[in-house]
């Protein structure tokens, strides 16, 4: 009798839980977030991407953005910036467990990724990072300006899918330093955040708050979370979208979330040389 009563109670609990889970699955992201807060299971200051609109990453120009998958265990965001070149963050390629950068053979780029489907896929043949990047330092101010990586793909995905350009007034002086003009502080960021890792989402109309280290480091009021790293900081002109920088880290200043990034000035000379070598 006791066993029978226990099984009946367990069945009732299981049924109630399943009904709750099924009901929860029909809620929107915002509604789930609200329910979690009301239940006291989510802090009020949690940072999520639920307020960001998603886009159809199978359409241009969004199909030029995709996921950088590392060893099937982690992902970042990357952008096609040439027929075989992808721009992302260097820290994505650093293995904390092994204490060194990962081998290119375990890195894959999936362009235009959208809920399991994609516009193109390629393994990474090789990659370049700044010689001054040090993954052991984490998100330190000492390495922020060097947190970029340029991946060379085995397949020329950008030839078919297109790629995102950089500002058209970029120049390099006799000392090898890049220069461009920032005409507006308004930017749009794009990425595959960890809480919605299968959809490309955007945050528009956020602002560049400050530039540091000769314009190589960007501080913005955009919301950036895990998975967004390497995602493009975009600006739109009459000619269309271009990349001004990439997302790399976030922090809190006076209880306000700020995001850090690397501007095109930091990697433009290396990008230019790589592009020329592949032509």
**Tens-place pLDDT, residues 104-159:** 999 999 999 999 999 999 999 999 999 999 999 987 889 999 999 999 999 999 99
CATH number of 62-277: 2.40.10.10
Contact 243, 232 (CB under 8 A): yes
Reported as a pLDDT band with limits 50, 70 and 90, residue 73 is confident
Dist. CA 121–CA 125, nearest whole Å: 13
Phi and psi angles of residue 93, each rounded to the nearest 5 degrees, phi first: -100, 5
Dist. CA 120–CA 117, nearest whole Å: 9
Contact 208, 216 (CB under 8 A): no
**Residue scoring higher pLDDT (215 or 46):** 215
The rounded percent of the chain whose pLDDT value lies above 70 is 82
Reported as a pLDDT band with limits 50, 70 and 90, residue 251 is confident
**Residue scoring higher pLDDT (264 or 239):** 264
Reported as a pLDDT band with limits 50, 70 and 90, residue 18 is very low
Query: Which residues fall within 8 angstroms of residue 205, CB to CB, at 6 or more apart?
Result: 186, 188
- Is residue 69 predicted with pLDDT exceeding 70? yes
Question: Which range, of 47-61, 160-174, 215-229, 265-279, averages the lowest pLDDT?
Answer: 47-61
Dist. CA 202–CA 57, nearest whole Å: 11
Listed in sequence order, the DSSP H helices in 140-263 are: 157-161
Q: Residue range 47-73: average pLDDT?
A: 89
pLDDT, position 223? 85
Dist. CA 143–CA 224, nearest whole Å: 18
pLDDT, position 224? 84
The rounded percent of the chain whose pLDDT value lies above 90 is 68
Mean pLDDT score across all residues of the chain:
85
Dist. CA 26–CA 1, nearest whole Å: 38
From the number of C-beta atoms within 10 Å of its C-beta (0-12, 13-18, 19+), residue 156 rates as middle
**Residue scoring higher pLDDT (78 or 224):** 78
pLDDT, position 72? 86
pLDDT, position 26? 52
């Amino acid at each position: 009798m006791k066993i029978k009563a226990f099984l009946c109670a367990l069945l009732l609990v299981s049924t109630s839980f399943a009904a709750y889970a099924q009901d929860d699955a029909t809620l929107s992201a915002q509604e789930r977030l609200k329910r979690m807060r009301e239940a006291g299971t989510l802090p009020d200051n949690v940072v999520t991407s639920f307020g960001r609109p998603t886009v159809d990453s199978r359409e241009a120009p969004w199909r030029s953005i995709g996921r950088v998958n590392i060893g099937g265990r982690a992902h970042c965001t990357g952008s096609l910036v040439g027929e075989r070149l992808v721009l992302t963050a260097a820290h994505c390629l650093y293995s904390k467990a092994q204490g060194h950068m990962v081998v290119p053979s375990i890195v894959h780029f999936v362009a235009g990724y959208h809920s399991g489907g994609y516009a193109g896929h390629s393994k990474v043949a090789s990659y370049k990072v700044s010689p001054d990047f040090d993954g052991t330092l984490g998100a330190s101010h000492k390495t922020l300006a060097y947190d970029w990586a340029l991946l060379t793909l085995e397949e020329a995905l950008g030839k078919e899918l297109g790629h995102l350009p950089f500002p058209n007034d970029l120049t390099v002086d006799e000392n090898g330093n890049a220069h461009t003009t920032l005409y507006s502080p308004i930017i749009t960021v794009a990425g595959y955040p960890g809480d919605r890792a299968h959809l490309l989402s955007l945050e528009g109309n956020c602002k560049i708050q400050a530039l540091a280290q000769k314009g190589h480091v960007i501080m913005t009021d955009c919301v950036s979370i895990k998975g967004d790293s390497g995602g493009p900081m975009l600006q739109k002109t009459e000619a269309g979208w271009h990349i001004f920088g990439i997302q790399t880290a976030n922090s809190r200043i006076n209880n306000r979330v700020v995001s850090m990034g690397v501007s095109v000035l930091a990697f433009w000379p290396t990008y230019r040389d790589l592009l020329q070598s592949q032509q």
